[in-house]
Amino acid sequence: MEAMIMTRIIMHGCNGHMGRVITDLVSKDDECKIVAGIDPFDDGHNDYPVFASVNDCDVEADVVIDFSNAAAVDELLDWCAEKKMPVVLCTTGLSEVQLAKVEETAEKTAVLRSANMSLGINTLMKLIQDAAKVLATAGFDMEIVEKHHRLKLDAPSGTAITLAEGILENIDRKDKWVKGTLVAPDGSVSGNTVYAPDELPVSSVREGEVPGIHTIRYDSEADSISITHDAKNRKGFALGAVLAAEYTAQHEGFLGMNDLFQF
Residues with catalytic annotation? 148, 152
Distance CA 85, CA 23 (A): 20
Based on the number of CB atoms within 10 Å of its own CB, is 148 exposed (0-12), middle (13-18) or buried (19 or more)?
buried
**3-state class of 94 per DSSP?**
coil
> 144: which strand partners?
202, 216
Residue 90, classed as helix, strand or coil, is coil
CA distance 14 to 19: 4
**Listed residue (139, 133, 262, 156) closest to 214, CA to CA:** 156
Per the CB < 8 A criterion, the answer to whether 164 and 200 are in contact is yes
CB atoms under 10 Å from CB of 123, counted, come to: 13
Q: Please choose, from the candidates 125, 116, 113, 108, the residue with its C-alpha nearest in 3D space to the C-alpha of residue 256.
A: 113
